[in-house]
Structure 1
């Protein structure tokens, strides 16, 4: 069997962003960013971190919540704006203590949304698909 080889002339590079899906009383927690867009809490990995550590750290920094990762939900490439891509990894996360949210200055608002709200909410398709996977469990 002959293996086809092709030369790769460019490499694909994108930052990795780890996002957490937090469900409470059949609602998912979303944050609104500076572009006035709803998204899942979380952010970029730091050097030396594994993705699960990154999502736990980011949720703590952004919301003041301590959580644990239940399971990975999805991973996909997302074009944030034209020609700017981010590799997204979503995790189902459980809050370890009270839901006393202390929103950082990284976001302008937070809110809880039901599965039905997602039908009309302007939310990136990848986030919506990940959230619906958790709701279906």
Structure 2
């Protein structure tokens, strides 16, 4: 079995989160393999930019997920461990990287996103991350007016 360490972003802008539709028609979050000496936060920021064209900053760690699948090209099982970060997009501009096999992507209202997301662990991740994101925005607002 191949074990891969990955990192990704749950990217928010106000009350919306960004989702990608992959080549299997699954709605997923941007993520990628951590390469070399790269740190997980660096990977998350770079993969979000590469897959979505979004400039985003990390707000907070979001947690970890893992999944296993069988790779036909490698003819063996692959186990992905993903470290997630809550991220905030600078604006609603994006550019889906179709060369990576993504079919579409967009910012979705949270309720709509939760209905679209394919995997239950990703739904939980987005739901919990949104609550933490709202807490961050409230904290940020309080600092501004303090």
TM, length-normalised to structure 1? 0.79
- Segments of 5+ residues of structure 2 without an aligned counterpart are 72-76, 133-146
**Aligned in 2, Cα 1:14/1:112: closer, same or farther, shift over 3 Å?**
same
* 1:14-42 alpha-carbon deviations (Å, 9 max, x no partner): 11221111112312110011111110012
RMSD over aligned CA atoms reads 2.0
Q: What's the counterpart of residue 141 of structure 2? A: none
Instruction: Please state how far the C-alpha of 1:48 moved relative to its aligned partner.
Output: 1.0
Query: Residue 98 of structure 1 is aligned with which of 91, 103, 127?
Result: 91
SS of equivalent residue, structure 2 residue 116: coil
Matched, 1:108 2:103: yes
> What's the TM-score, normalizing by structure 2?
0.75
State the distance in 1 between where 2:94 and 2:114 align: 25
Number of equivalences? 125
Structure 1: runs of 5+ lacking an equivalent: 1-11
Decide which structure has greater helix share: 2
Say whether the 8 Å CA contact 2:13–2:92 is kept in structure 1: no
Larger Rg: 1
Deviation sequence 1:56-82 (CA, Å, 0-9, x none): 111111122222211111113212459
